[in-house]
Amino acid sequence: MNFFDRLSNGWKISLNCFSLLKENKQLIIFPILSGLSMILIMGSLIVGILAAAGWDTGNLSETSNTANYLVLFAFYVVNYFIVVFFNMALIHCTHLYFMGEEPTVRKGIQFSLSRIRTIFSWAVIAAIVGTILKLLQENLGSIGKIITGLVGMVWNIAVFFVVPIIAYESLGPIDAIKRSAQMMKEKWGESLGASFSFGLIHFVAIVLVAGTLGIIGLLIHPLVGITLALLGVLLVAAIMSAVHTIFVSAVYHDVTGNPVKHFNQALADNLFISK
């Protein structure tokens, strides 16, 4: 199967995921809550750092590299924890839907709360990897950028199924990474056929939605135009985040042999290039 056939299949699967979100519009709340939580917590962190520096930004440049990396590590932990918490809630809701049950925001949140320790453990592991990659990137020059780019790509492929695995297979973070990588290697190969489709849809949606809202707003006032354009970008980002998480959940359920409503088995089989 050539690239364009895989692109076509990826596009169709993306539309299937949109259909599921359309039938369960309340699921869009999870990426919105994730974004709002991130803004609030990061805002608090920034205020704390500025307060510790005596509200003088000049003092921030005097901090050591070690302190900077510790702050970066803390940022990564918070970031991954929030994202995985709400992604797991969304994945559980799609699981309920696939099993013929009614998904609700409350059920999703309760499920994530029941996995809070595992989510935190995974956030720490992911933050360690992220910090190491950032350290290499900043200290090895152009070679570091190449290395971190390649390692980052491999890492993203290896952890593709980690969130549903830690949700339903009672595995710790390290075992979940091994399990996810093994599933990718044995069952699905190494090339994600739908990645370009999601990226293309995301780009087109931002241009159409944010661009249209921005133009309409500019007719009223430049500030209104900028505000509407930003809101358009955030809306598209929330929808695409929800759809991508639904996609991961659907493929995971398909791989593990669980029933998947609104998902085409034949398309899923062609989504990856088998070895």
Model pLDDT for residues 117-146, shown as the tens digit of each residue: 999 999 999 999 999 988 888 887 778 788
Question: What pLDDT score does 109 carry?
Answer: 94
How high is the pLDDT of residue 189? 44
**Residue 56 within a domain:** yes
What per-residue confidence (pLDDT) applies to 54?
A: 64
pLDDT score recorded for residue 216: 82
Q: Is residue 125 part of a domain?
A: yes
H-helix or E-strand containing 12? helix 3-23
Is residue 275 assigned to a domain? no
Buried b (16+ CB within 10 A) or exposed e, 234-249: ebbbbbbbbbbbbbbb
pLDDT the model gives residue 163: 92
Assigned domain for 235 exists: yes
pLDDT score recorded for residue 191: 42
pLDDT < 50 positions in the chain: 189-191, 273-275
Are the C-beta atoms of 192 and 157 separated by less than 8 Å?
yes
What are the two backbone dihedrals, phi and then psi, of residue 257, each rounded to the nearest 5 degrees? Answer: 85, 15
- Residue-range definition of the domain harbouring residue 228: 3-269
Instruction: Examine residue 187 and state whether it is found in any structural domain, yes or no.
Output: yes
What's the domain count of the chain?
A: 1
In a domain, 213, yes or no: yes
Whether 274 maps to a domain, the answer reads no
pLDDT at 275: 42
What's the pLDDT at 142? 79
pLDDT of residue 52: 63
Measured CA to CA in angstroms, residue 19 lies from 53, 103, 252 at distances of 49, 15, 18
Confirm whether 45 is domain-assigned. yes
104 three-state secondary structure: coil
Question: Long-range contact list for 187-190, CB < 8 A, 24+ apart?
Answer: 187/255, 188/251, 188/255, 188/271, 188/272, 188/274, 189/272, 189/273, 189/274, 189/275, 190/157, 190/272, 190/273, 190/275
